[in-house]
Structure 1
Amino acid sequence: MGEVYHAHDLLSQISDGGAQWFLGTSILLSVASLVPLSKGSRAEAKTEGVMNANAELWNGRLAMLGLVALVVTELAKGSALI
């Protein structure tokens, strides 16, 4: 998204403070994905409620597919998505 607004490539974004944002976001999302485990649930368990292990498993799978689709789309297009 930064490529569209600022016309900077990925390496420029990382050198302009993007590494800290990436690291912080990665830590936050990693901790959030451990919520079902902290409640004693396993990924295969069938628990109740919104934040259950099965929903977390599917959210992770869909997120991975979305990232792969984004990369493939940008490679096919030869530029940023937007």
Structure 2
Amino acid sequence: MLQESKPDLNPSPNLKSKVSTGFTDVFAFSGPAPERINGRLAMIGFVAAIAVELSKGQDLFAQISEGGIPWFIGTSILLSVASLVPLLQGVTVESKSDGVMTSNAELWNGRLAMLGLVALAFTEFVKGGALV
């Protein structure tokens, strides 16, 4: 009697899906890089903007016009490279998630920081000066 081969309905949990490390895949619209990098930059930018406002009393537009652009470019390059190296090596953000610091929490914090920067700029524009 021939025995039919049945498909395995319970695949091994040790098998991981292959993560694409191609540059275009990482930077695709739904890829892991764009929103994460922008969110990380927004988190740093929001905290830095509020810190400078509290220490010097400068609004966001004054910070940018008085030497903030080189700091922005340098920080953008540094954080982008630091974020891309693991992604291009095939390390997923989800694999490093643990406890409170999950990849979902990072996405939401980044989204809120992006909205916070826009709200800060808009409020300071309407008010005509620093928020604090």
Q: Same fold (TM over 0.5)?
A: yes
Q: Tell me the percent identity.
A: 58
Larger Rg: 2
In the alignment, does 2:47 pair up with 1:4? no
**In the comparison of the two structures, how many residue pairs are matched?**
73
Is the CA contact (8 Å cut-off) linking 1:74 and 1:80 kept in structure 2? yes
Q: Distance in 1 between matches of 2:78 and 2:119?
A: 23
Across the aligned residues of Structure 1 and Structure 2, the Cα RMSD in angstroms comes to 3.2
- Name the structure where helix makes up a greater proportion of residues: 1
Secondary structure, aligned partner of 1:80? coil
Q: Which runs of structure 2 are paired with 1:6-21 in the superposition (5 Å)? A: 9=62, 10-11=64-65, 13-14=66-67, 18-21=68-71
Is the CA contact (8 Å cut-off) linking 1:46 and 1:54 kept in structure 2? no
Look up the match of 1:41.
Answer: 92
Secondary structure, aligned partner of 1:79? coil
Identify which of structures 1 and 2 has the higher relative contact order when contacts are C-alpha pairs closer than 8 Å and 6+ apart: 2
Give TM-score scaled by structure 1 length. Answer: 0.57
Moved over 4 A (4+): 32-36
Q: Which runs of structure 2 are paired with 1:57-72 in the superposition (5 Å)? A: 57-72=107-122
Letter in 2 for 1:74: E
